[in-house]
C-alpha cells in the first residue's frame, strides 16, 4: 500500500465531523484557518458556527459595521483565551489584525467592482 493510500485510509477512519469540512467554500475554509490558528478545535467549532451564522458570505462580512466586528473579535478572544497562557492573548491580537485586513480588502474590492459595474450600465 502506498503512503498516500495509507494516509487516506487512516484519515477516513479517524476524521472528525467538523463544520468547515462540510463544503469547499474558500471563504469558510479561510475563516476556519484563522480561527484554528488562535484556539483549540473545541472552542473554534463554536466560534466558527457563530461567525458563519452572522457572516455567511464574504459580502456579509464586508457589510459588517466596525461595532459588529469589534463585538465578534471580543467574543472570539473570550472563547479562545486560556488564562494560564499569556501568549494566547498576543495571538488573539493577530486575529484582530487578520480580520481588519480582510474587512478592508473586501470593502475596497467590492467598491471597485461596483464602480466598474455602475460605469458600464
- Catalytic positions, please? 33
d(CA 72, CA 54): 9
Cα–Cα distance for residue pair 75/54, rounded to 1 Å = 13
Using CB atoms within 10 Å of the CB of residue 2, give its burial: 0 to 12 exposed, 13 to 18 middle, 19+ buried.
Answer: exposed
* Residue 22 phi, psi (nearest 5): -80, -10
Amino acid at each position: 500500500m502506498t503512503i498516500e493510500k495509507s494516509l487516506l485510509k487512516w484519515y477516513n477512519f479517524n476524521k472528525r465531523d467538523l463544520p468547515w469540512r462540510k463544503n469547499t467554500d474558500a471563504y469558510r475554509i479561510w475563516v476556519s484557518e484563522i480561527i484554528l490558528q488562535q484556539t483549540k478545535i473545541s472552542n473554534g467549532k463554536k466560534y466558527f458556527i457563530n461567525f458563519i451564522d452572522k457572516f455567511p458570505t464574504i459580502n456579509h462580512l464586508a457589510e459588517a459595521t466596525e461595532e459588529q466586528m469589534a463585538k465578534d473579535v471580543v467574543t472570539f478572544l473570550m472563547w479562545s483565551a486560556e488564562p494560564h497562557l499569556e501568549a494566547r492573548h498576543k495571538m488573539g491580537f493577530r486575529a484582530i489584525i487578520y480580520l481588519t485586513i480582510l474587512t478592508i480588502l473586501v470593502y475596497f474590492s467590492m467598491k471597485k467592482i461596483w464602480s466598474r459595474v455602475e460605469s458600464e450600465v
